[in-house]
A and B are shown apart, each in its own frame.
Chain A
Amino acid sequence: MSVPYALLALLSEGPKYGLRLQTEFESRTGEVWPLNVGQVYTTLQRLERDGLVASEGDGERSRKRYAITSTGSQELAEWLRTPPELVPPPRDELVIKVLVALQIPGIDVAEILQVHRRHVIEVMQRYTHIKAEAAEDDVPLALVADAELFRLEAIVRWLDAADARLKQLPPPNAVPPADVPQEATRTMEVPQ
């Protein structure tokens, strides 16, 4: 989870109170990721426990001011350069659905692909709408929206490619009967 690092990044500008960290977090992530103040304080507590931030001020959490420690700065610099997990989850739900659909006789797989294509594009329209309505210089918001848009576009491209591959298949009556001996199940390993 990147919230602790986002807070460390905000603190690298200088010491701040929890409430200010919350508002800054939201405004700088394009207000697409809501973060409640309770989450901010529990995160700060954990960061303090691990020696990544230090607090000054007494008693109540809202009156404490937090500062990043040198260990915190090091940790943040390392995190920025650590590649995120790029290996996909082993079972992508959409891929599974299409694979399952292929096994069901009489199902129009192209129609299933289109249902998902339309849905994904409708979600994309909503992100684009946010971008279109925002000020053109709202770079954080555009970055967040683009990240989602390009991720969703990749799904549409996969659907398009699946569609084209299925078109190349022989018509259904040419498929051999179901009781012919099957090949051993294939597995696909992603090299680590």
Chain B
Amino acid sequence: MTSALELRHVSKVYGSGPTEVHALNEVDLSVERGELVAVMGPSGSGKSTLLTIAGSLEEPTSGQVLVEGTDLTDVSRSDRAKLRRRSIGYVFQDFNLLPGLTAIENVTLPLELDGTRSRPAQETGLKALEALDVAEHADRFPDELSGGERQRVAIARAIVGKRGLLLADEPTGALDSLNGEAVMRLLRAATRRGVAGVVVTHEAYLASWADRVVFLRDGFVVDQTLAPAGPESLLAAGDR
């Protein structure tokens, strides 16, 4: 089966000579549809670089990045841009909604940029807003929404259409614990509907929503969690 995302021996080096920085070293990572993976690590461990390379916003120095089986290093710049628009959704810490557009316009923008006509784009966009429980705010501008609502709109924009890969960089950073939890619940629900999700976070409370947690250190993947045991094991522990 083709993974939604596969990194093969990906390295990224910034600068050269004495100022050379190895941001990523020989990173291997596969994420399947239906799976939510959290990437944890201290500042400077390469988390954000991993995400921008996975999303083809940046190119690796060496190694391969495959999105739904397509090797990004093999395709032309314009095909890469198309793939980015059609297959990959991004969620950022500061939401990155366009202030001059309403919620629904923000959500439908990637579809319209990709040539979908206005009416079908509206219908698809509204469905995404409904899935995130913010359809009633469709005609509001970002500054008329709360932080939690803005992040829901941003997630709707990231999953709208038929995207197979959802990438989120500290998506709960500006939110309190419960709004942060709500965002993780939504990301988890999106992956359960068949999207592959990668979330970069430094908070264990939020990372624990993931099916798998991958640990980065100095640009290396040093460890990852095993498949989580069921809740029974906690009750058994309580009986001791």
Contacts and interface: CB of A to CB of B under 8 A. Distances in A.
B222 A122 contact: no
Interface residues of B, number: 28
Interface in A72-114: 110, 114
A128 B234 contact: no
Contacts of B203: 153
Interface string B216-231: 0100001111101111
A122 B228 CA distance: 6
A28 to B, nearest CB: 16
Nearest to B224: A118
Contacts of A129: 228, 230-231
Given A117-B215, A120-B204, A153-B204, A125 B234 contact: no
Contacts of A3: none
B238 interface: yes
A164 B217 CA distance: 11
Given A122-B226, A129-B228, A130-B231, A163 B238 contact: no
Contacts of A128: 208-209
B215 A125 contact: no
A110 B223 CA distance: 12
B210 interface: yes
Contacts of A160: 42
Given A128-B208, A153-B203, A118 B234 contact: no
Contacts of A19: none
Contacts, number: 71
Contacts of B228: 122, 125-126, 129
Contacts of A117: 215
Contacts of A110: 217
B185 interface: yes
A68 interface: no
Contact of B238 (A32, A120, A122, A152): A32
A121 B230 CA distance: 14
B223 A118 contact: yes
Interface string A119-150: 01111111111101100000000000000011
A32 B223 CA distance: 30
A130 B208 CA distance: 11
A34 interface: yes
A122 B233 CA distance: 12
B136 to A, nearest CB: 19
Contacts of B207: 121, 124
Nearest to B181: A131
Nearest to B43: A164
Contacts of A122: 225-226, 228-229
Contacts of B215: 114, 117-118
Given A121-B225, A132-B188, A163 B42 contact: yes
A160 to B, nearest CB: 7
Given A118-B223, A126-B233, A153-B204, 7 more contacts: A114-B222, A118-B225, A125-B228, A149-B208, A152-B204, A153-B205, A157-B204
Q: Please list the 3 inter-chain residue pairs (A to B) with the smallest Cβ-Cβ separation, ordered nearest first.
A: A124-B208, A156-B204, A128-B208
26 contacts: A32-B238, A34-B235, A34-B238, A114-B217, A118-B213, A120-B204, A122-B228, A124-B204, A124-B205, A125-B208, A125-B210, A126-B231, A127-B231, A128-B208, A129-B230, A129-B231, A130-B231, A132-B185, A133-B231, A149-B205, A150-B205, A152-B204, A153-B203, A153-B205, A160-B42, A163-B42
